[in-house]
Structure formats: structure tokens, C-alpha cells
Amino acid sequence: MAGARPSLTKPLEHFREYLRLLARLQIDPRLRAKLDPSDVVQETLLKAHERRDQFRGQSDAELAGWLRQILANQLAEALRSFRRQQRDVDLEKSLESALEESSARIQRWLSLDQAGPGQQALRNEQLLQLGEALAELPDDQRTVVEMRHLQGYAVARISEEMARTTPSVTGLLRRGMKKLRELLKD
């Protein structure tokens, strides 16, 4: 194929659960009834596929970063449609920054050193596995685990936001973490 670049990275579909995790972390829970993270991720992957020739990176980490930028733009576009206002560059930059922060928080949570390319490749693979494992948890367990460990919310705040008792949230968190550990062992 003329002009085709060698495939040095994973297929875009491999990043779906990772992107969905990031989208869930950025969409206000009050908007989730109107804005489904899966829809935003689907649009992100479609845009990325359409613009694949614009990707200039050589690694999965660079591909993940490129996909995060597209996701930030898609989230900003979706939020603008709800607000019916002109383009808000500050909103896009804010979302992109928030996505980078969420991604960094997830990487810290996995707590690997960035000693070299091998460590970085392992970290990227673990991020993808984490996204896939979280997708397998029941919705309430996944939400509690994300809010507590990836967004840093206190159990009391999670209880308030989910309109559940503290013991209920604690139980969801315990069961979610147990299941997540099992899924990540495999």
C-alpha cells in the first residue's frame, strides 16, 4: 500500500475502555442521563479513525495522548451542545487538562516507576487492562471505585452524591475492589 505507515501501535478499539473510564471521570454525574460516556467514546474513536493519517506518534503512549486530545474535544463539543453557546476554548483546555490529570492519577494509582521504555510499555498495558477490568464491574461498584480511588472523593461525599448510606457505599467499594483485584490478576 503506497503511503501506508507501519503499524507500531495497538488498534484504536484497544483503547475503548480506557477512554470510557476517562470520559466517565469527566462527565458530571448529573449529565450522565443526557450524555452517555460510551457515545462520546464512540465519536472519539470514529474521529480518530477518520484522522488516523494525522497521527504522528510512534508509540502506544503517544497514541493514548492523541486519543485523549480527541476525547477532550468531543466532550467539549457535547457539553457545548447542552449549553447552546459558542465555542469555549477555555472549556476545551480545561477538559484536556482534566483528562491529563485523570490519566496521571490513574498512572500514579498503578504506581510504576517510569525507568525506561519497558516500564512505560508495561504502564500503558496496565492502564488499558484497568479500563477493561473496570468495565466488567457492576455499575454501582465501578462508580464507587472510580469516585474513591480515581477522583479522590471521600466516602461521605460518594454517599451523598449517590444518595446511599455510608455502609452501603463502603460495601460497594469493598466488593468492587475485591472483584477488580481478581480481574487484574488474570
pLDDT for 42-71, tens place per residue? Answer: 999 999 999 988 888 888 888 888 998 999
Q: Between 4 and 19, name the one with better pLDDT.
A: 19
Q: Cα separation of 15 and 59, whole Å?
A: 13
Q: Report the amino acid identity of residue 76.
A: A
Question: Band of the pLDDT at 166, cuts 50, 70, 90?
Answer: very high
Pick the range with the lowest mean pLDDT from 35-49, 61-75, 98-112, 168-182.
Answer: 98-112
Other beta carbons within 10 angstroms of residue 38's beta carbon come to 13
H helices within 37-185, ranges in order?
Answer: 37-50, 60-83, 89-110, 117-136, 139-145, 155-162, 166-185
Name, in order, each residue with C-beta under 8 angstroms of 175's C-beta and a sequence gap of 6 or more.
141
Residue at grid coordinates 476525547: 71
Question: Which helix (H) or strand (E) covers residue 26, if one does?
Answer: helix 16-26
Q: What is the pLDDT of residue 106?
A: 57
Question: Band of the pLDDT at 112, cuts 50, 70, 90?
Answer: very low
Q: Cα separation of 72 and 52, whole Å?
A: 17
Q: Give whichever of 23-27, 41-45, 51-55, 74-78 has the largest mean pLDDT.
A: 41-45
Average pLDDT of the chain is: 78
pLDDT at position 111 over 90:
no
pLDDT at position 38 over 50:
yes
Question: Band of the pLDDT at 175, cuts 50, 70, 90?
Answer: very high
Q: What is the pLDDT of residue 99?
A: 55
CB 40 within 8 A of CB 8: no
* pTM as predicted: 0.62
Region 81-100: mean pLDDT is 55
Q: Between 182 and 7, name the one with better pLDDT.
A: 182
Q: What is the pLDDT of residue 89?
A: 46
State percent of the chain over pLDDT 90: 27
